[in-house]
Structure 1
Amino acid sequence: MTAGRDASVTDIDVAIVGAGFAGIGMATQLARRGRESFVVLERSGGVGGTWRDNTYPGIACDIPAHLYSFSFRPPWDWETLYPRGAEIRRYLEQTVVDEGLTPHVRLNCELREARWDQAGARWELNTAAGRVRARVLVMAVGRLSEPYVPDIEGLESFTGTVVHTAQWRDDLLSGGELIGVVGTGASAVQVIPHLAEEAEELVVFSRTPPYVVPREDRRFTAKERAELSVPDHARAVREDLLVDADRAFRQRLGLHPDIDVIRDRALGHLNRQVDRPALREALTPEYEIGCKRILLSDDFYPALQRHNVVFEPSALESVTECKARAVSGHTYDLDVLVMATGFEATRPPAATRVRGRDGIVLADHWSAGMVSYASTAVHGFPNMFVLDGPNAALGHNSAIYMIETQLDYVLGALDHLAHNEIRSLEVSAAAEDGYTREIDRRSASTVWLTGCESWYVDSRSGRLTLLWPGTAASFRERNGTFDPEPYLVEPTHVDEGGQYR
């Protein structure tokens, strides 16, 4: 890291915003190659992103551990097939230490504004801990960083405690409370069994019931852990898991018999675990499987049949002091409301703080839904790359594999900038439009656009903007290598004194 012309400004090559998987992965790759100066700006007091913020009881991953970790950091002594949240956080914290990233990470350093300076061909960043000037900006804020709370009438009048699962507090419950959980998505199915043991009564508000398949988690044996400590074996296990998970994409295309097999597995799991006919009917989804996230749990259905649990098959409509009213008209007295309602995924708030060429705001550029080229570059925003953003996630496989593909792309772009005397790279409007049409064409026949409404789809445009409509392998084939051809290139100018500008 080098001092800038102004002592109050940090001048570096790459500014990374966010210290979750994507940001730490980017920093690790930069540190290992040792070419670029860089800094990681993190608004919180610790690293880990989603796995730092989410500490609710039962928090765990639904992707196998050896696939939900960096391929370039094997092995890791995972305890179970599906890692717990605290274990993933420790993995990321240890990565920072082992890779020597600590001096590069600035905690409690929220990005207030990032503005492209055309004259200087630099990103000017205003943060809570000072100013940063960077040649390249990498936005690694992710999709699961801003909690979403639906507009519920009278919520502000609730006399009890309201908490989002991503803002959990360990001192929240003392036992014996009347608890309401809003939502039955991925966070809800993990936290509900634990809350059911604590509550005097637990009410679960469900707008639409989820498809749930057996989790079948287990602890690794000592022999397995020893074998997985061998890097070559760990890599082979990871590759097998990746290929196996990619087979599930046929389900998302609605192809038979694939979609029938997974639907039968989910409904069979429901029928085996829920004996009460009325509850079983209320828990049977009316939409096509795979349109919403398919959940993994062995204890969600049993928890709903406890004597102290009420399954309310409609959404929470309004709150008046301590009383919560469902769309069905049923009312419940509550002490605590747990919002398991997901995140602002398709409209990332951080986009309101980024201004590109001619002052255009990223959120305005994305007003009709997020768009990009290669799911990583955005027209109008030179020398900027977005990780885990538009169409860079999967509904059936590991997000970490996708992030690593994007890291390779960004490293290729950095190499091109360094080796060709270029001030800036900006993907063309034509390339972005063409990629967007490609995404829309690939998405049209998927279950995400034909089966129901979900958080994967932008509510204003009706476009699939979060997921890549293909396999993880096809994403790497399409977007794993940087190609300068679709880019507008501004060459470096040489002044009369022979200095590059």
Structure 2
Amino acid sequence: MTRTDGPTVTATRETHDAEVLIIGSGLSGIGAAVKLREAGVDDVVLIEKADELGGTWRDNTYPGCACDVPSALYSYSFAPNPEWTRAFAGQPEIRAYLHRTAAAHGITSLIRFGTEAVRAQWHPEDARWHIETNRDRYTARILIAAAGPWHDPLVPDIPGLAEFPGEVFHSSRWRHDHDLTGARVAVVGSGASAVQFVPAIQPQVARLHLFQRTAQWVLPKPDHSVPRAERWLMRRAPGAQRALRTAEYAAMEALGVGFRHPSLLRAVQKVGTLHLRATVKDPGLRRALTPDYTLGCKRLLMSNSYYPALTRPNVAVHATAVRAVEGSRVVGADGSAAEADTIILGTGFHILDMPIARRVFDASGASLDDHWKGSPDAYLGTAVSGFPNAFVLLGPHLGTGHSSAFMVLEAQLEYVAGAVRHFRKAGWTSLDVRPEVQAAFNAEVQQALPSTVYNAGGCSSYYLDSNGLNSFSWPWSTGRMRRRLARFDPEAYTSTSSAVRDRGYTDG
């Protein structure tokens, strides 16, 4: 399996103009389109490389795929869903919810499916973004990158993997046409996806070898089916669903206090320890599954079936990274080996080295990737200096280990909608965050991170970029995030208006 950064551009047929162009039609792109329409922006186009909307909830169809955030919190506040059938919704329900929301708000018709962004570049002479796709060309006054960080699968560079004679696939590109019944399966990785699909496939396979580079903290999952009576109540009394959402938000924020003060996580970590002891009786296996870092340093995982699955007779846990693949043998760094017919990669995504950063260019032709040099940075996780009229959703510095992506996204969307409203009212042609403002925000974040569990928890995680900096995490509460993003501050930006652009100077 090889990684590519984009398709070959075919003969371009037409050029389309839009006020706002959104790259991606997952939860970020759909939410952005809804909020922009509410702000009075009708000329919105979404380009989507796939043939269906949904983003990560379209791509991840592996057995057992479900959310690890309570359903009432994992939804747009403007589109409550009283029909969740489980406390933690499964992938099919979340995908269907995104489809319904897009259709109900008139967003589906705005999406250009099968259209992949190849290159987007800022052109100061007409103050527009010029976007090349595998189909047509587009220009836009405002560009919103909504491709998301959990999208492009990370395929490890394992010697011999390309020559493996059996089937190899990433969990986010699940081969449903490949029957695992009676197969010898090697699973590489033990993160959020593996915790869900390993218990789902374990009863089906003849032998399952889990190669675990790092043990994970796995808490019991308070999941349950939602009774029909409760769903009826949610339909008839919308206030009940709002109350549930508020209660779940408060509970997650209470947990978040521990992420900022790691010593408070001992009680939660004790729950993880007791969960492991209660479900894994073999002392050797229990040692292999016991983490050596503070809970919360890596993504928090929940499952009631993962540990029991690992105790089954047809499962072997290799507490080691994979060193190589030699023919049909998967060889661990500790010398252990396993014969396999199928290799499933539960190895995560390009979180901080997002491919979209190599497709968005400033006026001089330097990409976002060139600017970031391995350490993504954006003012309030949303705007990047040197890239006027552009916003990144679920961008750097906004990740939390305890809350819902929808909470982060909606805070950002308030900010972006406010920026667009101000942009239009002021008659601006461009706005660009001041470099000193962005630098000051990044310094503030980096100063606050060392005391959080993300940095002080004693692990190596995807929160850390290739330079060893934490470019992912928000070191404060989501309440503080919402307050910071609640109001667009024009003083943080330089701007040009149509009246002055031709005279060659910038009005701040």
Aligned pair partner of 1:252 in 240, 259, 266: 259
Aligned pair partner of 1:267 in 267, 273, 280: 273
Moved more, 282-291 or 230-239: 230-239
Q: Distance in 2 between matches of 1:489 and 1:357?
A: 16
Residue pairs, 1:165-176, within 5 angstroms: 165-176=171-182
Moved more, 485-494 or 284-293: 485-494
Kindly indicate whether the alpha-carbon contact (under 8 Å) linking 1:402 and 1:472 is maintained by their aligned counterparts in 2. Answer: yes
Aligned pair partner of 1:375 in 363, 376, 381: 381
Q: Distance in 2 between matches of 1:430 and 1:63?
A: 36
Aligned pair partner of 1:26 in 29, 32, 41: 32
Aligned-pair Cα RMSD in Å: 1.5
CA offset digits 1:222-266 (Å, max 9, x no partner): 22111222322212211111111011122212444x211111000
- Give the match for residue 21 of structure 2: 15
Kindly indicate whether the alpha-carbon contact (under 8 Å) linking 2:260 and 2:476 is maintained by their aligned counterparts in 1. Answer: no
Residue pairs, 1:314-333, within 5 angstroms: 314-333=320-339
- Give the match for residue 3 of structure 2: none
CA offset digits 1:25-83 (Å, max 9, x no partner): 01112233443301011111100000000000000000000100000001331000000
- What secondary structure is seen at the aligned counterpart in 2 of 1:14? strand
Kindly state the Cα deviation for residue 487 of structure 1 after the two structures are TM-superposed. Answer: 0.2
- Give the match for residue 474 of structure 2: 468
CA offset digits 1:439-487 (Å, max 9, x no partner): 1011111111122344343333222111211111111011222111110
- What secondary structure is seen at the aligned counterpart in 2 of 1:68? coil
Q: Does 1:228 align with 2:234?
A: yes
Matching residue's letter, 2:239: D
Q: Stretches of 4+ moved more than 4 A in 1?
A: none
Percentage of identical aligned residues: 37
Q: Distance in 1 between matches of 2:94 and 2:307?
A: 26
Moved more, 273-282 or 487-496: 487-496
The TM-score normalised by the length of structure 2 is 0.94
Q: Does 1:100 align with 2:106?
A: yes
Q: Distance in 2 between matches of 1:482 and 1:465?
A: 23
CA offset digits 1:358-405 (Å, max 9, x no partner): 222111111140111111000000000000111122110111011001
Kindly indicate whether the alpha-carbon contact (under 8 Å) linking 1:138 and 1:385 is maintained by their aligned counterparts in 2. Answer: yes
Q: Does 1:157 align with 2:163?
A: yes
Residue pairs, 1:37-56, within 5 angstroms: 37-56=43-62
- Give the match for residue 190 of structure 2: 184
The total of aligned residue pairs comes to 490
Gaps of 5+ in 1: 1-5, 497-501
Kindly state the Cα deviation for residue 421 of structure 1 after the two structures are TM-superposed. Answer: 1.3
Gaps of 5+ in 2: 1-11, 503-508
Residue pairs, 1:78-93, within 5 angstroms: 78-93=84-99
Q: Does 1:420 align with 2:426?
A: yes
Kindly indicate whether the alpha-carbon contact (under 8 Å) linking 1:180 and 1:337 is maintained by their aligned counterparts in 2. Answer: yes
Residue pairs, 1:131-142, within 5 angstroms: 131-142=137-148
Kindly indicate whether the alpha-carbon contact (under 8 Å) linking 1:13 and 1:135 is maintained by their aligned counterparts in 2. Answer: yes
Matching residue's letter, 1:243: A
Q: Does 1:359 align with 2:365?
A: yes
Kindly state the Cα deviation for residue 330 of structure 1 after the two structures are TM-superposed. Answer: 1.2
Q: 1:300 to 1:7 in 2, by over 3 A?
A: closer
Q: Distance in 1 between matches of 2:100 and 2:81?
A: 13
- What secondary structure is seen at the aligned counterpart in 1 of 2:364? helix
Aligned pair partner of 2:223 in 198, 217, 220: 217
- Give the match for residue 288 of structure 2: 282
- Give the match for residue 243 of structure 1: 250
Q: Distance in 1 between matches of 2:81 and 2:402?
A: 23
Aligned pair partner of 1:295 in 295, 301, 317: 301
Kindly indicate whether the alpha-carbon contact (under 8 Å) linking 1:204 and 1:311 is maintained by their aligned counterparts in 2. Answer: yes
Q: Distance in 2 between matches of 1:63 and 1:495?
A: 47
CA offset digits 1:255-308 (Å, max 9, x no partner): 44x211111000010001111111111111111111011210001011001110
Q: Distance in 2 between matches of 1:96 and 1:206?
A: 39
Aligned pair partner of 2:317 in 304, 311, 323: 311
Kindly indicate whether the alpha-carbon contact (under 8 Å) linking 1:31 and 1:101 is maintained by their aligned counterparts in 2. Answer: no
Q: Distance in 1 between matches of 2:122 and 2:433?
A: 15
Kindly indicate whether the alpha-carbon contact (under 8 Å) linking 1:292 and 1:452 is maintained by their aligned counterparts in 2. Answer: no
Q: Distance in 2 between matches of 1:253 and 1:32?
A: 35
- Give the match for residue 456 of structure 2: 450
